[in-house]
Copies of this chain bind each other. A is one copy, B any other.
Amino acid sequence: MSVRILIVDDHPLVLEGLKSLLADVDEVKVVGTATNAIDAIAFLKSNEVDIAFLDINLPDISGIDLCKKVKDQFPEVKTLALSTFNERAYVSRMIQNGASGYLIKSSGKEDILEAITQVQAGGYFMNVQFDQVTPAAAPKTVPFLTRREKEVLVLIAEGLTNPQIAEQLFISVTTVNSHRQNLLIKFEVSNTASLIKLAAGLGLI
């Protein structure tokens, strides 16, 4: 029996690319695709899937959160993270959330098949080389940010001041300030400059 694959990625190119690459492989069958988390979950409810390829960046929720949801609701489904980047922080968070592996999108056909084989056999696969010389400044992991904190972070990066952010989000300035202080604490920095530099380096803004 062939391995049943679900691909979740909002890039049509990637969907098509994977399908195309896997089309002529007998042992593998792409049984479904989804471009967002909602559709992915819905598909899993009514279909049997062995391995789900999850893009890290999805329109509704992050692949990291989706991974957690999938493992919670469908523990028998194995998950494989897909990303354009070599992001050490993402890798560890996906693994923490139960992923069986991590595949960068620049992987070749061999890598992809190898990953499927490994994961299907219950093992792990990871072809990430951490080539970028990660400077000492970067924290080990991306701090966990709440929804509101992410929103505030983005607005700070856009150059809005606390009063402007407060107006935008319909909350008080002191609340904005609270979120801001929490961001500083979570990133372990002491001012906006370092915060934005780190966040930018992690691709958060």
Q: Report which A residues bind B (CB closer than 8 A).
A: 10-21, 84, 105-109, 132-135, 137, 154, 156-159, 161, 189-197, 200-201, 205
Query: In the complex, A199→B112 CA distance in Å?
Result: 32
Q: What would 11 A/B residue contacts be, using CB atoms closer than 8 Å?
A: A12-B106, A12-B107, A12-B109, A13-B106, A14-B17, A17-B17, A135-B159, A159-B191, A193-B196, A196-B200, A200-B200
Q: CA A84 – CA B16 in complex, angstroms?
A: 15
A193 neighbours in B (Cβ, 8 Å): 156-159, 192-193, 195-196
Known: A13-B18, A17-B17, A192-B196. 4 other contacts (CB 8 A): A11-B106, A13-B106, A14-B17, A135-B159
Interfacial chain B residues near A19, Cβ < 8 Å: 20
Cross-interface CB contact of A157 among B108, B154, B197, B205, cutoff 8 Å = B197
Q: Tell me the nearest residue of chain B to A11, going by C-beta.
A: B106
- The count of identical subunits is 2
**CA–CA, A153 and B178, complex, Å:** 27
State in angstroms the CA–CA spacing of A194 and B14 once bound together: 33
A57 (CB) vs chain B CBs: closest residue: B84
Min Cβ gap A73→B in Å is 26
User: Using Cβ atoms and an 8 Å threshold, which residues of chain B touch A196?
Assistant: 192-193, 196-197, 200
- Separation of A35 and B20 alpha carbons in the complex (Å): 18
Which of chain B's residues have a CB closer than 8 A to the CB of A134? 158
Cβ 8 A contact of A15, one of B10, B17, B156, B197: B17
A133 to chain B: closest residue by CB: B158
Q: In the complex, how many angstroms separate the beta carbon of A106 from the nearest chain B beta carbon?
A: 5
Instruction: Tell whether, in the assembled complex, residue B13 and residue A159 are in contact, meaning their CB atoms are under 8 Å apart.
Output: no
Name the one of B11, B107, B158 contacting A137, with C-beta atoms under 8 angstroms. B158
Q: Which 3 A-B pairs have the closest CB atoms?
A: A17-B17, A159-B194, A13-B17
Contact present for A137 and B109 (CB under 8 Å): no
The answer to whether A105 and B159 touch across the interface, beta carbons within 8 angstroms, is: no
- Nearest residue in B to A191 (C-beta to C-beta)? B159
Most buried by B among A13, A191, A192, A196: A13
